[in-house]
Amino acid sequence: MISALFIYNQKGEVLISRLYRQDLKRSIADIFRIQVISNTDIRSPIITLGSTSFFHVRHENLYIVAVTKWNANAALIFEFCYRVINIGRSYFGKFDEEAVKANFVLIYELLDEVLDFGYPQNSETETLKMYITTESVKSERAIMEDSAKITIQATGATSWRRSDVRYRKNEAFVDVIESVNLLLSAQGNVLRGDVTGQIMMRAYLSGTPECKFGLNDKVLLEKDPTNRKKSSEAVEIDDCQFHQCVKLGKFDSDRTISFIPPDGEFELMRYRTSDNINLPFKVHPVVTEIGKSKIEYRILVKANFSSKLYANNVVLNIPTPLNTTGVICSASNGKAKYVPADNSIVWKISRFQGQSEFMLTGEASLTAMTHKKAWSRPPISMDFHVLMFTSSGLLVRFLKVFEKSNYNSVKWVRYMTKAGNYQIRF
């Protein structure tokens, strides 16, 4: 399994180095730095050099690298790497170089806990927080009690939840966050379009509640004859994965999502859809090269969602040729300016009402080039957040909570769509 775990900064300096097995030397860290970080040709996340495999994940300005000498399960190792990032984020807020440098001891402690002889152990943040804390040491007795509980919990049926949680007000928050990936050809055809979504849940529920969760999943709705008529609004989910608390046996048999939630925030589910995507924005770019010294831009953006909704932080990156000297542009809404560092015009619109339509006109002047090279016309890319809108059309139909004490609980659902890789060629 995982023989060693390293964390490097962007320059390739080793920040964290933890060896779990005897089959590697510490100097293996240099090999990764030389072969991967310094070598710009290699961008693959898995490199096998000789009998040693390096799995790396980049986060902020860090490389999280797991090294193994075995033919280990790559998916498991990557999942573990992302877990490490999640743990880091929930402990330090932001998991970057500064955070690592400020928390060496804590990170080593965490790494000792989540991996044992290279085998992943409990990596549930909430559980870890029970015994690896940043706070001052409590009294002997409290520790004794806590540690007894930890043992019971870690070996019990629901290792992710303590049994003695009590809240005065029982609440559950569900966030559906989708990111839209789009690549539109210059002719307006969709070359690639899909939505990756995650359902985040924050559960503040007492006891050990059993939750049932319902989506407008097409497969499920078609199964139920009474809901046939509604199936047109259903969503076809290509692929999904769940938090470990979800009972997969039940999902497999009747596609119901039922679980005992961990306490606090967790990611309940991830999914992907690629059919019937509602694109939140339509972009009509008209870019004409006038002679060799000028380019005219007319970019029209239209919001395609209900006029009751609005989008925040809409940013369009409109590329300019490499020999641009300056751009004069004006936008009907928002601010547009030429950013030479990125070789693009950046158009920012802070609030974009649904169904509205904005226009940018601009003119880039070009300088002569020694070697005439055609402009590659890279695509326009776009960034945005739209609240209460899902591109996939996914809706939460119900969330039911059953507990022995039968208390009433309040549930909140929130939707958000943001741009993933939203690109339009012209």
Closest distance to another protein from the beta carbon of 108 (Å): 25
Write down the least CB distance from residue 378 to another protein, Å.
13
Distances (CA, A) of 209 to 68, 97, 158, 165, 243: 40, 39, 12, 10, 16
For another protein, which residue of 337, 373, 400, 414 counts as binding (CB under 8 A)? Answer: 373
For residues 257 and 327, which CB has a smaller minimum distance to another protein in the complex?
327
50/423 Cα distance (integer angstroms): 39
Q: Is 374 in the site for another protein (CB under 8 A)?
A: no
What token pair was written down for 285?
């770019």
- Closer residue to another protein, CB minimum distance, 232 or 370: 370
Asked if 333 touches another protein (CB under 8 A), the answer is no
By CB under 8 A, name the one of 75, 137, 368, 374 that touches another protein: 368
Q: Does 341 bind another protein (CB under 8 A)?
A: yes
Closer by beta carbon to another protein, 134 or else 370: 370
Amino acid in the structure at residue 285? P
CA dihedral 344, 348, 353, 355 (to 10 degrees): -10
* Interface size with another protein, residues (CB under 8 A): 20
Residue type, 369: M
Residue whose token pair is 């040693």:
52
> In this complex, which beta carbon is closest to another protein, that of residue 125 or of residue 324?
324
Q: Residues 227, 413: contact at Cβ < 8 Å?
A: no
Under 8 Å between Cβ of 197 and 393: no
Binding of another protein by 326 (CB under 8 A)? yes
Nearest approach, Cβ of residue 371 and another protein (Å):
5
Stretch that binds another protein, among 121-129, 253-261, 317-325, 353-361 (CB under 8 A): 317-325
Distance separating alpha carbons of residues 336 and 332, to the nearest angstrom: 10
Pick the binder of another protein from 61, 121, 244, 350 (CB under 8 A). 61
Residue 31 · residue 49 · CB < 8 Å: yes
Decide: is 371 part of the binding site for another protein (CB under 8 A): yes
User: How far are the Cα atoms of 206, 247, 374 from residue 151, in angstroms, in the given order?
Assistant: 21, 23, 67
Alpha helix stretches (DSSP H) within 124-212: 125-131, 140-155
| 367 touches another protein (CB under 8 A) | yes
Task: Calculate the CA dihedral of residues 179, 185, 191, 193 and round it to 10 degrees.
Answer: 20
Q: Which stretch binds another protein (CB under 8 A): 13-21, 50-58, 102-110, 339-347?
A: 339-347
Give the interface segment with another protein, choosing from 149-157, 196-204, 363-371, 405-413 (CB under 8 A).
Answer: 363-371
What tokens were used for 214? 């319902």
Q: How far is the CB of 317 from another protein (least distance, A)?
A: 13
- Element spanning 177, H or E: strand 171-184
CA distance 414 to 170: 18
| Candidates 49-57, 76-84, 115-123, 320-328; binding stretch for another protein (CB under 8 A) | 320-328
Q: Report whether 126 contacts 141 (CB < 8 A).
A: no
Closer residue to another protein in complex, CB, 222/342: 342
Choose the binding region for another protein from 255-263, 294-302, 321-329, 412-420 (rule: CB under 8 A). Answer: 321-329
Cα–Cα distance for residue pair 58/270, rounded to 1 Å? 20
Q: Is residue 322 a contact point for another protein (CB under 8 A)?
A: yes
Say whether residue 365 binds another protein (CB under 8 A): yes
Q: Which residues bind another protein (CB under 8 A)?
A: 10-11, 40, 61, 322-326, 340-343, 365, 367-371, 373
